[in-house]
Amino acid sequence: MFSVCSVGHPPEKITSLQNPRVKQLVKLRDRRPRDEAGVFLVEGYRQIRRALEKNVALTELYFSRDWFLGENEDALLAQAAAAGATLFELSKDAFAKVAYRERPDGLLAVAPQWHRKLDDLAVAGRGEAGRPEPGSPTPATAKAPFLLVVEAIEKPGNLGTILRSADAAGCDAVIVCDPVTDIFNPNVVRASTGVLFSVPLVVAESREVHAWLKQNGIRTAATTPHTENLYTQTDLTGPLAVIMGSEQYGLSEFWMKESDVLVRIPMAGQADSLNVAMATIITLFEAVRQRNG
């Protein structure tokens, strides 16, 4: 059982749904209040644990024992408190009001937003030294960068899943161009299962990204059904950025024109396209296969 002695004083207990903190947490579901406050919500045991593992400075952590699913929550509370987070205990109804999930697990944290720039990314691959904490430069640890660039992704769930795919494929960074959805949307955090805290992530305008990639000698491979080049028959080794377009419209004319090579995933059935998250992982792992020899 989590002991109040581990933080020096009992966490404040909140039961009223009209409590100002409860109201503020509900507001933080929307982008404008998040941006004005410079924070975002992290809900769920796995997501909060990964944030703490990456030394993200959680400012507040709200919990409700009535929703706990396992036996490890108390250790997580103690870890968050030791790292400087202020703890607040909520009643079951109060937590249900602030939770983003239909079936919450009784843990919700507030974390500061960060804003990384393109020049914060080292144009080198990921090595055993690990990846940077949010907001810090990436160490140069290898020779051939492997990046994922996504343009105008609309659905937060897709963006979160894409981050998981990039992490699984060992991408050195994800660059979000001309975003339609906020990278700090609760559904992005949720779908990424906390990978948001470990994959270096930059938001920038497409032309700026293209210029930066050219400056650093990184070849671009854009995915589209409008080419004869199969992704399995195209060289995806060396310094590379895989470019993926939006769910509804695909890649913009800019990336279609300016990319070094266009590739397609063959479609044998009646469907003429794949979900962007699915297409991303298929393309990334073909690159992984080639890059691993």
Question: 3-state SS string over the chain?
Answer: CCCHHHCCCCCEEECCCCCHHHHHHHHCCCHHHHHHHCEEEEECHHHHHHHHHCCCCCCEEEECHHHCCCCCHHHHHHHHHHCCCEEEEECHHHHHHHCCCCCCCCEEEEEECCCCCHHHCCCCCCCCCCCCCCCCCCCCCCCCCEEEEEECCCCHHHHHHHHHHHHHHCCCEEEEECCCCCCCCHHHHHHCCCHHHCCCEEEECHHHHHHHHHHCCCEEEEECCCCCCEHHHCCCCCCEEEEECECCCECCHHHHHHCCEEEECCCCCCCCCCCHHHHHHHHHHHHHHHHCC
Q: Are residues 103 and 215 part of one domain? A: no
Q: Are residues 165 and 239 part of one domain? A: yes
Say what the pLDDT of residue 133 is: 47
Q: Are residues 223 and 209 part of one domain? A: yes
Q: Are residues 126 and 104 part of one domain? A: no
Q: Are residues 97 and 71 part of one domain? A: yes
Residue 243's CATH number: 3.40.1280.10
How many Cα atoms occupy the beta-carbon half-sphere of 113 within 13 Å? Answer: 19
**What domain range includes position 246?**
118-291
Q: Are residues 126 and 107 part of one domain? A: no
Q: What is the pLDDT along the chain (293 residues), one digit of tens a residue?
A: 444 434 456 899 999 999 999 999 999 999 999 999 999 999 999 999 999 999 999 999 999 999 999 899 999 999 999 999 999 999 999 999 999 988 999 999 999 999 999 999 977 544 333 344 454 444 434 469 999 999 999 999 999 999 999 999 999 999 999 989 999 999 999 999 999 999 999 999 999 999 999 999 999 999 999 999 999 999 999 999 999 998 888 899 999 999 999 999 998 765 556 789 999 999 999 999 999 97
Chosen domain end from 112, 139, 168: 112
Chosen domain end from 93, 112, 131: 112
Chosen domain end from 112, 130, 156: 112
Q: Are residues 150 and 230 part of one domain? A: yes
Place of tokens 């695909």: 250
Say what the pLDDT of residue 10 is: 80
Q: Are residues 165 and 209 part of one domain? A: yes
Q: Which of 146, 102, 103 is nearest to 121 (CA)?
A: 146
Query: How many separate domains does the chain show?
Result: 2
Q: Are residues 165 and 36 part of one domain? A: no
Say what the pLDDT of residue 128 is: 32
Q: Are residues 286 and 158 part of one domain? A: yes
Residue 54's CATH number: 3.30.1330.30
Say what the pLDDT of residue 272 is: 58
Q: Are residues 172 and 44 part of one domain? A: no
Q: Are residues 76 and 215 part of one domain? A: no
Global pTM value: 0.87
